[in-house]
Amino acid sequence: MTAMRMLMIGSGFVAPYHLAGWRRLGVEITGIVTKDRARGEVLARENGTAHVFDDVETALEATKPDVVDIASPLEWHVAHIELAAHARAAILCQKPLAPTLAEAGRAARAVRQAGVRLRVHENFRFRPWYRAARRVLAAGTIGEAFYLRSDLRFAGTVSTSLHPDRPYSIARQPYFAEAPRLLTLDSVIHQIDVARFLVGEPDLVFAQMRRVSDAVRGEDVASLAMRFGRLHAVIERSYASKGYPDPPVASEDLVVEGTAGTLRVDRDGRVSVHIDGAGGRHVTEIAVERVDAYPASYAATIAHFHDCIRSGAPFETGLDDNLRTLDAALAAYVSAESGIAVALPTPDCVALLAIHH
């Protein structure tokens, strides 16, 4: 087969991880589209392409890529999907797919009408500890799972002794400062997707959110209570909490409790299974590769997309699947604003899935 040709849209924080994943596959990087010319030229040199564009339409016409990787700001995702679909390219789009379900519907119509494939780049579930956790749960090792907790807390939007002038998360990803919806749509959405990957589909969400830091517009603390059939889940995240280990942190703390025992993933990505019964109490450590796991999760996500494009196999986080994750995250905002629980999937999501089919 000839090498796949890929056009990169975006040059922000995640772009180098995307590009590294493509390089590992031997994919030809045809160009980088960015409004930051200097940044684009650095990335171009590092990734073996001479072409930097400031306009998506020009880049598509000039390079005629097989695939387009969209890592532009959220508000541009759908417009860029429409342009890539019109160019008949397969599309990998950084999460979240769109800021609203209505705009996600535009993306769905564009790819359906063009007859191209779209996958949302959702890398957390490709972290090795979550792949191992899924295998443990699928094997029934802890019995019937009835409770899940996913939690991560650190000082990311507030000043600390290590980051007295500019908080860690804002320095790392400057758009955090102005995002009107921050933690849930940017980060908790990952935890929702992992929970879906591990235990199935949620049918209810009740959420509370607040902003602690004056350095951000959106919420930097979020607590979601979710129901997954017979399983109760608590998903929490805070970037305003002092007194926790300093970032970066490898993983959320994850606990899944079952009728025969408990599965744990700690902040360092260590996986353990705790079984307690008539035969005694046993703790088993599950070996996973934790070195460079963050960039490796991007590479694994991109490799999955590449392989599915080549083979025609379905994506793990294709459009239909990821619409459910997006729906749950957006419903959490409705719940937080209204003070009531929201049933999932929402009627708008059900209608969108029906239209897409």
Query: Which whole number is the average pLDDT over 123-129?
Result: 97
Between CA 196 and CA 205 the distance in angstroms is 13
Between CA 175 and CA 210 the distance in angstroms is 18
Query: Which whole number is the average pLDDT over 218-234?
Result: 98
How long, in residues, is the chain?
357
Cα–Cα nearest to 155, from 266, 247, 249, 236: 247
Query: Which whole number is the average pLDDT over 259-287?
Result: 95
Report the DSSP beta bridge partners of residue 206. 225
The number of helix segments (H) and strand segments (E) in the chain equals 12, 15
Tokens of 62: 């000039």
Torsion (CA) 220, 131, 96, 87 in degrees, nearest 10: 160
- When the pLDDT of each residue in the chain is averaged and rounded to a whole number, the result is 96
Between CA 54 and CA 41 the distance in angstroms is 11
Residue type, 90: A
Q: What is the pLDDT of residues 285-302, one digit of tens each?
A: 999 999 999 999 999 999
Q: What is the pLDDT of residues 143-188, one digit of tens each?
A: 999 999 999 999 999 999 999 999 999 999 999 999 999 999 999 9
Tell me if 14 sits within 8 A of 175, measured CB to CB: no
Query: Which whole number is the average pLDDT over 37-50?
Result: 92
Between CA 36 and CA 41 the distance in angstroms is 9
CB-CB neighbours of 199 under 10 Å: 21
- Counting residues of the chain whose pLDDT is more than 90, the rounded percentage is 96
Query: Which whole number is the average pLDDT over 74-86?
Result: 98
Specify the pLDDT at position 131. Answer: 98
Specify the pLDDT at position 337. Answer: 98
Between CA 8 and CA 75 the distance in angstroms is 17
Specify the pLDDT at position 354. Answer: 87
